[in-house]
Amino acid sequence: DAGVIQSPRHEVTEMGQEVTLRCKPISGHDYLFWYRQTMMRGLELLIYFNNNVPIDDSGMPEDRFSAKMPNASFSTLKIQPSEPRDSAVYFCASSFLGQGSMDEQFFGPGTRLTVL
């Protein structure tokens, strides 16, 4: 398995532009998580899905952020409009809860977002 795939790996955009980050979880995993890593706040959970349904989005910073999971193999995190303070590394992770699972989360390589 290729692991969790994220695209793009790097994104540089200007303030006010829309940004879309993409994630493909590991096949068979039923949980998908979006995290943001910053120097100030460390690794923080933004939102997570179970079987494509959003379960908890309380970590989403504000209405400019939205996330979708239209099917089991794809999720997006959108920021519209983007602001310089959104600059961070965004990680996607997936896991499954079932027999033989230790419930560990497998992280993608991250998307480094820079908003100028």
What is the contact surface with another protein in residues (CB under 8 A)?
31, 33, 42-45, 48, 55-56, 91, 97, 102-110
The smaller minimum CB distance to another protein, of residues 4 and 79, is found at: 4
The smaller minimum CB distance to another protein, of residues 7 and 17, is found at: 7
Task: Give the residue among 109, 106, 111, 108 at the shortest CA–CA distance from 30.
Answer: 106
Tokens of 61: 């910073």
Report yes or no: 56 and 109 within 8 Å, Cβ to Cβ: no
Q: How far is the CB of 81 from another protein (least distance, A)?
A: 27
The smaller minimum CB distance to another protein, of residues 51 and 80, is found at: 51
Ordered strands of the 74-79 beta sheet: 5-7, 19-24, 74-79, 65-71
Q: How far is the CB of 64 from another protein (least distance, A)?
A: 21
Q: How far is the CB of 115 from another protein (least distance, A)?
A: 21
Question: Would you say how long the chain is, in residues?
Answer: 116
